[in-house]
Amino acid sequence: MRVARLHGLADIRLADEPVPEPGPGHSLVRVTAVGICGSDLHWWTEGGIGDAQVGTPLVLGHENAGVIVTGPDTGRLVAIDPAIPCEACRQCRDGYRNLCPDVQFAGHGNVDGGMREFLTWPTALLHPLPDRLTARDGAMLEPLGVAAHCIDLGHLRLGGTAAVVGCGPIGLLAIQLLRSTGAAKVVAIDPLPHRRQAAAQLGADSTTEPAAAAELDDLTRGGADVVLELAGAGEAVQLAIMAARPGGRVLLGGIPGDDRTTFQASAARRKGLTIAMVRRMNDAYPRAIRLASSGTVDLSSLVTHRFPLDAVALAMQTAARRDGLKTLIEPAG
């Protein structure tokens, strides 16, 4: 099978490797769609994320969908939950599997992800997709799950106001979920015109670029109840602090390139803000499938670029330039 492995900074190489054999409780899956996430771009442009760095060559990709090719479920299209928690630690026992310190996560550390033609994965973490969802939709369920987790942590009341800083795919999915959960007003903030346009089309009441931050009070009428920061840059975090009302909540979901998050402490302190960190998602796939299959969210319009596995380097470069919205790789052709 063909495999794309990251060897170092922007050094991704194609190779032929044996098709893996599934062990007990695992299935062999032919990978049909892999989304390129912002965290994949950290591996590509920085050689890692925070204190996790490329050691042995790594197969990226945790937004995966494919077709089971072994066992009684052969031929079934599935979305692949990338997280394998230990199920034994306190966090797992308390229902916070996304916080498991021993989690194995696809495309991270020494766990190979989906940028290959076949993978083996625990059968229990393969979620069958209904007929109306495609493989591309299946690859989008992981970012949808992250967006849903952000909404959960925001505790937005019915009729409340929200702002989203960073309108990449997760931000655009969050905007749709905020509207579906009863937000009275949603403001979108992003420097890229095509992403602001997408935000408006998907439900944002108003959009602005970061340079127009002075308008935030007017846009949010004194500040938003909940602000989702999904960009990772220091400027985005500061904008999130500015956009929140006194007593509001700020969710930090972006991953900073230098592994540091900073903001003006006096502004956050005087507002008495609650600041929460977002760690991936928590058992979100069944709910994400329901949201997608019911039409509550639009997944297909977010996929703007698709590449075969042989063009993986070009796909990574396209995503790193922030061209379009979501870039997919289709290993199976």
**Residue-wise DSSP of 191-252:** S-HHHHHHHHHTT-SEEE-GGGGGGHHHHHTS-EEEEEE-S-SHHHHHHHHHHEEEEEEEEE
> Which residues, including other chains, have CB under 8 Å from residue 168's CB and lie 6 or more apart?
38, 195, 230, 231, 322, 325
Rounded distance, CA 142 to CA 288, Å?
A: 8
Name the band, by pLDDT with cuts 50, 70 and 90, for residue 172: very high
Which residues 6+ apart lie within 8 Å of 124 measured at CB? 25
Say which range, 65-74, 128-137, 214-223, has the weakest mean pLDDT: 214-223
Residue 324 CA to residue 180 CA, distance in Å, equals: 24
pLDDT digits (tens, 9 = 90+) for 234-267: 788 999 999 999 999 999 998 887 888 888 889 8
Determine the Cα–Cα distance for residues 188 and 203; give it in Å rounded to an integer.
9
Reported confidence tier of residue 66, pLDDT bands at 50, 70, 90: very high
What pLDDT, on the 0 to 100 scale, is given for residue 197?
97
Instruction: Judge whether residue 219 has pLDDT over 70.
Output: no
Per-residue pLDDT, averaged over 225-232, amounts to: 93
Say if residue 87's pLDDT is above 90: yes
- State how far Cα 115 lies from the chain centre: 16
- Which pLDDT score is estimated for 213? 61
Question: In whole angstroms, what is the distance from residue 91 CA to residue 69 CA?
Answer: 33
Structure tokens, 2: 């063909």
**Inter-CA distances, 33 with 78, 84, 118, 185, 280, Å:** 11, 20, 11, 34, 20
- Per-residue confidence at 212, pLDDT binned at 50, 70, 90? low
pLDDT at 302 over 80: yes
Structural tokens at position 63: 């937004």
What is the structure's pLDDT at 249?
A: 96
The ranges assigned to domains in the chain are 2-128+299-330, 146-277
Cα–Cα distance, 222 to 178 (Å, whole number): 19
DSSP per-residue codes, 88-131: -SHHHHTT-GGG-TT-EETTBTTB--SSBSEEEEEGGGEEEPPT
d(CA 182, CA 322): 30
The domain defined by 2-128+299-330 carries CATH number 3.30.70.141: no
Rounded to an integer, the average pLDDT of 326-330 is 97
Q: 3-state class of 2 per DSSP?
A: strand
The CATH number, out of the four listed (3.90.76.10, 2.60.120.10, 3.40.50.720, 3.40.50.1820), of the domain defined by the range 146-277: 3.40.50.720
pLDDT digits (tens, 9 = 90+) for 96-154: 999 999 999 999 888 999 999 999 999 999 999 999 999 999 999 999 999 999 999 99
Higher-confidence residue of 209 and 150: namely 150
Across the range 48-54, mean pLDDT stands at: 74
pLDDT score of 296: 92
Tell me if 302 sits within 8 A of 172, measured CB to CB.
Answer: yes
From 128-137, 206-215, 256-265, 278-287, the region with the lowest mean pLDDT: 206-215
Q: What 3-state DSSP class applies to 66?
A: strand
Q: Which of 32, 48, 41, 156 is nearest to 110 (CA)?
A: 48
Q: What is the pLDDT of residue 100?
A: 95
- Predicted local confidence at residue 38, as pLDDT: 87
